[in-house]
Chain A
Amino acid sequence: MTVDPSTAGAALRTAGAGAALSTLPGFGEAVEGRALVSRDAFSPRYDLDRSTGLISREGHDLKGENIAGAILVVPAAKGGVAAGWSLYDLKQRGIAPLAFVFTTVNPVFVQGCVHAGITIVHGVSPDPVASLRTGFRLRVDPQQRRIDVVSATVAAL
């Protein structure tokens, strides 16, 4: 697929509604939901209270946020192989994110999302952490290798 260069260019800073980002091949169904954007790398073992879905690590920029049902946008995966099982467990208990968007990913998150049936894309351009904001409504489509900004309105906290 190709991303229209004019709309991709519009996403270089903060993306507006209608902007599109391109991705590498990912996994899963196309989904639409609310973005939760972090500048910190993410690990379900290091950062998450896996009983609640709340980010629990002191100093994490999403501490206190719940990832359940969100499109989690993060720059990178952190740490080890725990995501392989724990994403499945989160999904089965109904507190998994709707999708993961990674600037760069490690294999564990892809393996974990494949096992759990969670949508994931990686290799996103332009940088999703810089160009997307928490509260944006996104459509993530791994088959088309693109992310569309459906709405760029940031909901009040």
Chain B
Amino acid sequence: MKRVLFWIVIVVMLVGFLFPIAWVYVTSFKAPQDIFKPEKLIFRPTLYNYVYIVKTRPSLRELWNSFVVTVASTALVMAVSLPAAYSFARFNTGKGHLLFITISTRMFPGVVAALPFFFVFRDLGLLDTHLGLTLLYLYFNMSFATFLLYGFFREIPEQLEHAAMVDGYGRFTILRQVIFPLIKPGAAITTVFCLIWSWNEFLFAFLFTRRIARTVSVGLSTFWGSIEIQWGPMAALMGVAILPTLAAAWLMQRYIIRGLTFGAVKG
């Protein structure tokens, strides 16, 4: 009896969490006339919406833009955050204040940063460019990446480094051969988070890109026209845009579960 109850709760929970995602795909295969008939649970699937977004919308370009900005900004974030987090964790650089300031950038309301950047980017000609958006995402993800990595570096016992030092290895050799292999799971989960957040980000992309560097999120919002919302094509593009996040999560699944249990316990 208790087992049955347990499974009922699990099923209800899964339906609750997964239904909207499943509905994205269901909707994307509906023909235009079926979109407005929710009572028709069984319908004839069609690729109409997918063909539509490829043929008449700049969706492929938007996907490409998202890809470029996401990968570039994540690479930058890791390049900045990895050494900084190591420094915070091992040497307590800035005695905690600096770390708190870093974390606090994440609590800035997005629009606080958006206003000044808008003017500067306009003057520098960075509006609607990949570079501009990449820099914004560097700012956007850096603080949380540093915070996460800080937790992971803290997990690595300092004695390991001391032992290697006693053995006569230099600082950089130790970093490469002792620390790096140990931080890999943590770095992997941080990378995935940065990738997913940049990919999904909307506010900055919406304010800072118009036509050339428009990302998928902004592309999705343009299906909401002045007269009606094109649900079908929108769902199709959503379905495509979701796939990379799922793939990233799937590839990193092992690391994510390990990384989360690692980092979260100690906070």
A binds B: no
Residues of B within 8 A of A (CB): none
